Amino acid sequence: MAVACVIVLSIVLYHLTSTDLHNGASRGWTVEQRGREHIWHVSSSYNYSVGLVWPRDADDDDDDRIMSQIDVMNVYARQKRKRKLKVILRVGNFNFENWVAGQEQFVRDKCPIMDCWMTKDQSQARDADVLLISEFHDSSRHLYLPKPRRQIWIAQHSESPLHNRIDTHSVRGLINWTASYRHDSTIAFRYGKMVPRVSATTTLTPGEGSVNYAAGKTKLVAWFVSNCNAGNHRLRYAQDLSQFIQV
C-alpha cells in the first residue's frame, strides 16, 4: 500500500505548477526544514520524462529513499489545496496482489494522500492520468497508443529482471518513471530492511551496553532468502561459495 501512496503523491506533484508551490503561503510553513527542502526541490528541479521526481542531495547515496519519499508525502499532505482526482490505470496482473479498485485501499490504510482513483477498466486508457504497468507486450500497443501527451507511464517491478513481463521494445521511448526495489528507481520500494534494534533515544558507548552478535557464531556468512530454488540458481551460487567460505 505504501507504494500506491507514493505513486499517488508523485502524480499529484507532477501536475502542480512551480508558482503554486512558491506562493507567499509557503514561506510560513512550520514543518521540519528537510520537508520544506524536499518540496522546494520537487517544484524547482522536476523534469517530466527524465530523472527522479524526488528530492536529492549530496547524501543521497547513503539515504533511505523510502523514508525520503514518505517525508515528502507527509509534508505535502499537510498542505490545504484543491486537488483534481487522478486516475491510475492498472496494466497487467503481475505484482498486483491485494489490489483494490477505487479509493477504498487508500482510505482503509489511512494513506495521507487520497487524490487518486485506481482502476483496471481498459476503456479508461485514453483518459487516465497514469498507466501503472507490470505487463506489456507488442499485442497490447494498440490499446494504449497513441499516448496522450500528459499521460505518465510507470513500469512497476517488485521482482528481478529475470521475471520481467514488460517487452522493452514495445515500450521504448514511452516509459516516464520506474517503480522497483532498485535505489535508483523513480519510486523506490522494497520488501523490507534490517535495522538495529535500539531506541532512537539510546546512546551506546563502545564496550558499554553493546552486544557482540558474532560471538558464538560458527559460520562467516548469513544468507537471507525467500526462494532457494529460483531460476537464477542462487542456491548453486551459495553452494559454490561455501567451498571457500562458510555460509
User: Which structural domain, as residue segments, surrounds residue 244?
Assistant: 211-247
The answer, yes or no, to whether residue 27 has pLDDT greater than 70, is no
Same domain for 176 and 219, yes or no, is no
pLDDT tens figures, 100-135? 899 988 888 888 888 889 999 999 999 999 999 999
Looking at the fold, whether 13 and 104 belong to one and the same domain comes out as yes
| Banded model confidence at residue 207, pLDDT cuts 50, 70, 90 | low
Cα-Cα end-to-end distance for the chain: 34
More confident residue, 29 or 120: 120
Task: Determine, yes or no, domain membership for 173.
Answer: yes
pLDDT higher than threshold 90 for residue 185 = no
Please indicate, yes or no, whether residues 35 and 130 belong to a single structural domain of this protein. Answer: yes
Report d(CA 162, CA 245) in Å as an integer: 27
Residue 138 vs residue 28, higher pLDDT: 138
Judgement on whether residues 113 and 181 belong to the same structural domain of the protein: yes
Q: What is the pLDDT of residues 53-106, one digit of tens each?
A: 655 555 555 567 777 777 777 777 777 777 788 999 999 998 888 888 999 888
- The whole-angstrom separation of Cα 43 and Cα 39 is 6
Is 125 found in the same domain as 238? no
Q: How many domains does the chain have?
A: 2
CA distance 184 to 178: 9
| pTM of the predicted protein model | 0.68
Does residue 79 share a domain with residue 172? yes
Q: Is residue 20 part of a domain?
A: yes
In a domain, 201, yes or no: no
Please tell me whether residues 102 and 29 are part of one structural domain.
Answer: yes
Give domain status of residue 156, yes or no: yes
- Residues 126 and 245 both lie in one domain: no
User: Is the confidence at residue 153, as pLDDT, over 70?
Assistant: yes
What are the DSSP E strand ranges found in the chain?
86-91, 116-119, 130-133, 152-157, 177-180, 187-188
pLDDT tens digit sequence for 139-148: 999 999 999 9
Give pLDDT, residue 198: 62
